A and B are shown apart, each in its own frame.
Chain A
Amino acid sequence: GQNIDQPTEMTATEGAIVQINCTYQTSGFNGLFWYQQHAGEAPTFLSYNVLDGLEEKGRFSSFLSRSKGYSYLLLKELQMKDSASYLCAGGGNKLTFGTGTQLKVEL
């Protein structure tokens, strides 16, 4: 089965750094995804980790530790437009999503 946990909500300040954690227990693990979803819109792909370590993509980075069943998404130089829900997802081809972390960026 699949079980993915992430915090329900977080608040951060514009220009700051925020780390969103995700823990998982999945069978048939084939990588860990992060998606961003703005209110009323579809989820959009941010990152994919299949090996341990840090993957950096501009202001966004994602980390994976398979032995610990742990991942995080790091957002740097926060902007107001980063206010959204961030979804952690794992599994094989059959992706299971966490319930999402609602990030609010404040001035």
Chain B
Amino acid sequence: DAGVIQSPRHEVTEMGQEVTLRCKPISGHDYLFWYRQTMMRGLELLIYFNNNVPIDDSGMPEDRFSAKMPNASFSTLKIQPSEPRDSAVYFCASGGDSYYGYTFGSGTRLTVV
């Protein structure tokens, strides 16, 4: 298995632009999570899905953030409009049986200038 695949690996954009991050979870995993990591706040859960349905989006910072999971093999996190304070590493993770933990993708390093 190729693991959790995220794209792009790096994204530099100007303030006000729309940013879309993509994630392909591991096949057969029914949970998908979007996390954001910064030095100041560590790993923060933004939203998670179970069987493609959003379960908890209480971590989404504000209306500028939205996430979708149209099918079991694809999810997007969109920021519109982006702001410099959104600069962070965004991780997607997927999982099934808790015993084996959740597998993280390599992350997308977002820089908003």
Residues of chain A whose beta carbon lies under 8 Å from any beta carbon of chain B: 30-31, 33, 35, 41-46, 48, 50, 87, 93-100
22 residue pairs A–B, Cβ–Cβ below 8 Å:
A31-B98, A33-B102, A35-B101, A42-B104, A42-B105, A43-B43, A45-B101, A45-B103, A48-B98, A50-B98, A50-B99, A93-B31, A94-B48, A94-B55, A95-B45, A95-B102, A96-B45, A97-B35, A97-B42, A97-B43, A99-B42, A100-B42
Kindly list chain A residues whose C-beta atoms are within 8 Å of the C-beta of B35: 97
B107 at the interface (CB under 8 A from A): yes
B52 at the interface (CB under 8 A from A): no
- Rounded to whole angstroms, the CA-CA distance of A100 and B55 in the bound complex is 26
On whether the beta carbons of B102 and A45 are closer than 8 Å, the reply is yes
On whether the beta carbons of A45 and B100 are closer than 8 Å, the reply is yes
Residues of chain B whose beta carbon lies under 8 Å from any beta carbon of chain A: 31, 33, 35, 42-43, 45, 48, 50, 55-56, 91, 98-107
Kindly list chain B residues whose C-beta atoms are within 8 Å of the C-beta of A96: 45
- Rounded to whole angstroms, the CA-CA distance of A48 and B103 in the bound complex is 13
- Rounded to whole angstroms, the CA-CA distance of A99 and B43 in the bound complex is 7
Give B31's nearest chain A residue, CB to CB.
Answer: A93
Q: A93-B50, A98-B42 are in contact. Are A41 and B55 (CB under 8 A)?
A: no
Find A93's partner among B43, B55, B99, B100 (CB 8 Å cutoff).
B55
Kindly list chain B residues whose C-beta atoms are within 8 Å of the C-beta of A30: 98
Give B6's nearest chain A residue, CB to CB.
Answer: A42
CB distance from A47 to the nearest CB of B (A): 8
- Rounded to whole angstroms, the CA-CA distance of A46 and B91 in the bound complex is 18
Give A91's nearest chain B residue, CB to CB.
Answer: B45
- Rounded to whole angstroms, the CA-CA distance of A31 and B95 in the bound complex is 14
- Rounded to whole angstroms, the CA-CA distance of A44 and B4 in the bound complex is 12
- Rounded to whole angstroms, the CA-CA distance of A2 and B22 in the bound complex is 28
Q: A48-B98, A48-B101, A94-B56 are in contact. Are A41 and B42 (CB under 8 A)?
A: no
